Structure 1
Amino acid sequence: MTQLTLRDIMTRDLTTVDGGATLKEVATLMREQDIGNVLIMDGERLAGIVTDRDIVIRAVAYGHDLGSAITDYASDNVFTMDASSSVQDAAQEMSNRQLRRLPITEDGKVVGIVALADLATNATGRADEQALQGISQPTG
């Protein structure tokens, strides 16, 4: 049996914005596309990722201006994995790092994203299931 790679399960339809996008613009994109994350790009380089939760917890909860730059609320130094990596390795890394979304690269360029739900749907073995269990667990 062939081992699944991230290329096999990743979502290729990415929603991206540049760093000049505002909270309102990104939130509107999320609503229109029914998605929970947007990648922040600096040209072809991944500069960050912002989730619907980031917008609520880091901005709305504090009453910040919806015209604020999205980069103020995005996570930077985003961990990525290569498209040829195994699903099992990705599940383990996501568990170790407490990630729910993982941008996927090929030749240094972002080509997809894998969400926790993608791993859960495509988990093929016990190791994947064990790794997934740790992702949503509260840390000590």
Structure 2
Amino acid sequence: MTLTEIATTDVVTVDPDTEIRAVLTQMDERHVGSAVVTDGDDPTGIITDRMIAMAFRETDSVTDLVASDVMTDDLVTTSEDRTHYEVLETMRDEGIRRLPIVSDGTLSGIITLDDLLMVTAAELSNASDVIERQASGS
């Protein structure tokens, strides 16, 4: 199974100067917890719902902020040719839950820890079925 088969390819993207209220609206409408900040087609950062919530520590009115005020400074990405095990390892090492997928410098999707857990759960279920069939002699 490839990353693009697991990942979301219709990613919420925003420009660096997008107001946080608009970012939140897009995330809410699409029922996601993050938006990738892009400069043209190039991903430059990511904003999560948690990052926006944490911005309240710095200011009384988060709505005065724009995407570049809240986004990550050091975006970690992956390529579509990596396995889901390698992506999970990257997430663990970097302490992140979302990883944009980049192909030739262009955003092609995003994979989340939830996506990886669903795949892993399915694999474990399949392994369990094999064990049950062998134990019952079928």
Q: Give the TM-score of the pair, scaled to structure 2.
A: 0.81
Aligned-pair Cα RMSD in Å: 1.8
Aligned to 1:104: 101
Letter in 2 for 1:122: V
Kindly report structure 1 stretches of 4+ aligned residues shifted beyond 3 Å.
Answer: 59-62
Residue 25 of structure 2 corresponds to 28
Distance 1:108 1:65 in 2: 31
TM-score by length of 1: 0.80
Aligned partner of 2:13: which letter?
T
Question: Are the structure 2 counterparts of residues 101 and 55 from structure 1 closer, same or farther at C-alpha, using a change threshold of 3 Å?
Answer: same
Paired residues, number: 123
The DSSP-based 3-state class of the residue aligned with 2:54 is helix
CA distance in 1, matches of 2:62, 2:11: 26
Instruction: Give how far 1:83 is off.
Output: 0.5
| Corresponding letter in the other structure for 1:75 | T
What 5-or-longer segments of structure 2 have no aligned partner?
125-138
Q: Which amino acid aligns with 2:28?
A: R
**Percent of aligned pairs sharing the same letter:** 30
Q: CA deviation at 1:7?
A: 2.0
Q: Which protein is bigger by CA-based radius of gyration?
A: 2
More helix by share: 2
> Where does 1:117-136 land on structure 2 (aligned, <5 Å)?
117-123=114-120
